Amino acid sequence: MFASIVIENKSKYTDTFYTYETGELFVNPGDKVRVPFGKKEVYGYVFDVTDEKPDEEFEIKTILEVDEENSLNPEIVKTAAWMKSRYAIKYYDALKLFIPKGKAAKPGKEKEPYKDLISRYSKPEHFTSEQENAISVISESIEKNTNDIFLLHGVTSSGKTEVYMESISKALEMGKTAIMLVPEISLTTQVIERFAGRFGKENIAVLHSKLTERERFDEWMRLKTGKAKIAIGARIAVFSPLENIGVIIMDEEHEATYKADMSPKFDTLDVAVKRLKTYNGVLVLGSATPSVTSYERAKEGIYRLICLKERYNKTPLPMIHIVDMREELRNGNASILSEKLNRYICSALDSKKQVILLQNRRGYSNFVSCRECGYVMKCPECGISLTYHKKEDKMICHYCGKKYDVPKVCPDCKSKKIKLVGFGTEQVEEVISSAFPNAVVDRLDLDTVTKRSELDSILKRFEDKKTDILVGTQLVAKGLDFDNVAVVGVLLADTTLNLPDYRSQERTFQLVTQVSGRAGRGDEQGNVVVQTYEPENFTFKACMNHDYEMFYNDEIKIREFMNYPPFGDIIMVNFTSNDEELCDATSDRFTKYMKNCLKTQDKGLEKGVMNPKVAFNFKGQDSFRTYVLIKCPKGERNRYVYYIDNFQSLLFNERLKVNVVCDVNPYSIV
DNA sequence: AGCACGCCGACT
DNA sequence: GTCGGCGTGCTC
């Protein structure tokens, strides 16, 4: 017998299959083996076993030993091989995601993460009929191994978690395993509390990047040996060493955190779908505000849509008010607080209720807007907001790179009040404090709050009602439930609405819906005030009506017209190096190469390859970065990635010191 | 990536 | 002679 093996390596050059003879050993795909390699011995993983001898003329060596304890299963190597072609990454980089770095703790010294956690779970007396229906449909699918994907579209407090738990329970009943994914590590605690109460602590394992190497290894081993049947965690938990997975659940499926931002840049949803194919398992995507891509798939019948419209506790949804900041300006109010928001805050404070103010970060991009009419400069080709670059004093499209002069007067209404939008972050707390001198104001954002304990104490103070007004970034939109919040204010929704990203509208809808969930948790209806210079944007109308469908119907038309997902992909190819010239030259060369590859098809696809752009490299060690953006039509992704992978090999053969990283539908282009 | 091989200049 | 610099090629 002959085995195709990928060795533990660091080089792109050796990231390929090597054929070994199995000898006397009984070898399966997924097995970790020790093999002779060159003058040394290395470890590798078996990807395939056949009895056909390869044609090529090279000496075939024999596998020395199988490391049973650290071996993986056949599905894992299959998924890793698929990831290589989908993300243009190395076999071994894909494989590494499935293998914990650490070593086992010494016997008796195992440390249990979340040891002091209290299990909190009380099964509700009854499920709503919508919940009953969802549970029975999903359970049937798990039972019959139909490999379905469900999109569970449920408003906040509609009891999605109960549906998740019942689905997992069904999988366990069938002798299968389950993975529960949450978007952020901070959210795992609440989930574990409930799951531990429902399924017993011994049956669950936690996997996320904040565990120590040793803890992670031990949890991983508990899953691999079948001691734990349910994996809970952030996106890396999708790589749990489980077999026979009955169901994977992705809570808040629209969240950006499901897409890895560091290399290898995998997409959690893709990986989940791929893994479940082998086991005919079921995927449940839950969200109150599904991603437009997922919803389209549900509409197309690729996913099965389940709606939960009824709120479990029947609390009325908050009232959403859209405030026109142009009007405020015309009425002589130039402050960051509209008259309406001011009024709501005052009355909330009077009745000892609390207030949350969301100040969405300006981030790295600045845009120009007319305060008279709300006009925002957008790229006519790409349809995204232009970003102001101070250095060049130009408006630049972050997709195609076209540059435009900064307008002196508004092209629409000829007003001179067209200028940069955004206010200094520090300013906000100051303004709020002086506007409400008798209120206790606290501030929550990740820039100023560095320590975990600091963050917790700010939240604790708010929970204990010691704080009247909490000002913060996106952080306040998520996290804990507070029952005394009467008013939520979004100070300037335009900052999210005009991010240079095709998803900016989707993200705004999600953000407003999410913060709305913070208002009026008790029996009283809460109020949400959203301030904007562009109140006529369809996104806000949909927010006001709590109508996702309405938002979707408008947004999907734009996506189709612009060929953005789900109708096409945007592929960003990054080049980093310590050699500036090499970086530039390589991205130029890549552009020509890619255009050349596509030209032969004679469909004009090469027009989708944008010219290279220079950018700063924040994260990597290399000092220079350039990138090339490619607009890729629907169904062509695999071919495009294949070309990119080939180009990478080309560079490697020449031993050029330049890194190439590919990112499909990146969340930010800076 | 590593490591060996090999071809060239500089030195005890 | 021979030591070591690094350009090149290979690992089943």
C1' (C3) to CA (A273) span, angstroms: 59
Please state whether strand C lies within 7 Å of residue A34 at its CB atom.
no
- Write down the pLDDT at residue A428: 81
**What does pTM read for this prediction?**
0.94
Contact indicator for A420, A388 with CB cutoff of 8 Å: yes
Strand B close residues, chain A 34-93, CB < 7 angstroms: 38-40
At A341, the amino acid letter reads L
- Write down the pLDDT at residue A550: 98
C1' (B7) to CA (A659) span, angstroms: 31
Beta bridge pairs of residue A154:
A308
Please state whether strand B lies within 7 Å of residue A553 at its CB atom.
no
- Write down the pLDDT at residue A479: 60
**CA distances in angstroms from A120 to A202, A286, A646, listed in the order given:** 15, 22, 52
Please state whether strand C lies within 7 Å of residue A37 at its CB atom.
yes
C1' (C5) to CA (A34) span, angstroms: 35
CB atoms within 10 A of CB A278: 17
Instruction: Say if strands A204-207 and A230-233 run parallel, antiparallel, or are unpaired.
Output: parallel
**A52: CB partners within 8 A, 6+ apart:** A2
Closest CA to A98 of A81, A86, A115: A81
**Covered bases, chain C (protein CB within 7 Å):** 8, 10-12
From the alpha carbon of A655, which nucleotide's C1' atom is closest?
Answer: C8
Closest CA to A134 of A171, A174, A161: A161
Contact indicator for A181, A233 with CB cutoff of 8 Å: yes
A518 burial level (CB within 10 Å; 0-12, 13-18, 19+): buried
- Write down the pLDDT at residue A616: 73
Instruction: Say if strands A149-154 and A282-287 run parallel, antiparallel, or are unpaired.
Output: parallel
**A225: CB partners within 8 A, 6+ apart:** none
Strand B close residues, chain A 15-44, CB < 7 angstroms: 38-40
Please state whether strand B lies within 7 Å of residue A563 at its CB atom.
no
C1' (C7) to CA (A583) span, angstroms: 22
C1' (B5) to CA (A538) span, angstroms: 69
- Write down the pLDDT at residue A657: 84
Closest CA to A497 of A626, A298, A325: A325
Closest CA to A658 of A623, A632, A631: A623
Closest CA to A253 of A182, A305, A159: A182
At A119, the amino acid letter reads S
- Write down the pLDDT at residue A361: 67
Please state whether strand B lies within 7 Å of residue A654 at its CB atom.
no
Contact indicator for A231, A220 with CB cutoff of 8 Å: no
From the alpha carbon of A4, which nucleotide's C1' atom is closest?
Answer: C12
From the alpha carbon of A657, which nucleotide's C1' atom is closest?
Answer: B1
Please state whether strand C lies within 7 Å of residue A47 at its CB atom.
no
The 3 state secondary structure assigned to A524-583 is CCCEEEEEECCCCCHHHHHHHCCCHHHHHHHHHHHHHHHCCCCCEEEEEEEEEECCHHHH
From the alpha carbon of A652, which nucleotide's C1' atom is closest?
Answer: B1
A356 DSSP 8-state letter: E
- Write down the pLDDT at residue A9: 83
Separation of alpha carbons A9 and A620, rounded Å: 21
3-state secondary structure of A661: strand
C1' (C1) to CA (A58) span, angstroms: 38
**Covered bases, chain B (protein CB within 7 Å):** 1-4
Task: Kindly report the backbone phi and psi dihedral angles of residue A173, in degrees, each rounded to the nearest multiple of 5, phi listed first.
Answer: -60, -35
Query: Per-block average pLDDT, block size 10, for chain A (670 residues)?
Result: 92 92 96 94 96 87 95 98 95 96 81 80 88 98 98 90 97 98 89 94 94 93 97 98 98 96 93 98 97 98 96 83 95 93 96 91 73 92 90 89 93 91 69 92 76 79 93 74 88 92 96 87 85 96 97 98 97 92 93 93 87 77 88 95 92 86 90
Closest CA to A365 of A387, A393, A391: A387
C1' (B8) to CA (A663) span, angstroms: 45
A229 DSSP 8-state letter: -
Q: What is the dihedral of CA A182, A186, A190, A195, to 10 degrees?
A: 50
Beta bridge pairs of residue A149:
A283
Q: State the nearest residue by CA to the C1' of C9.
A: A653
Structure tokens at A365: 């991009």
- Write down the pLDDT at residue A171: 98
From the alpha carbon of A11, which nucleotide's C1' atom is closest?
Answer: B1
Please state whether strand B lies within 7 Å of residue A12 at its CB atom.
yes
Q: What does the pLDDT look like over A58-99, one tens digit per residue?
A: 889 999 999 999 999 999 999 999 999 999 999 999 999 999
Beta bridge pairs of residue A206:
A232
Strand C close residues, chain A 1-30, CB < 7 angstroms: 11, 13-14, 17-20
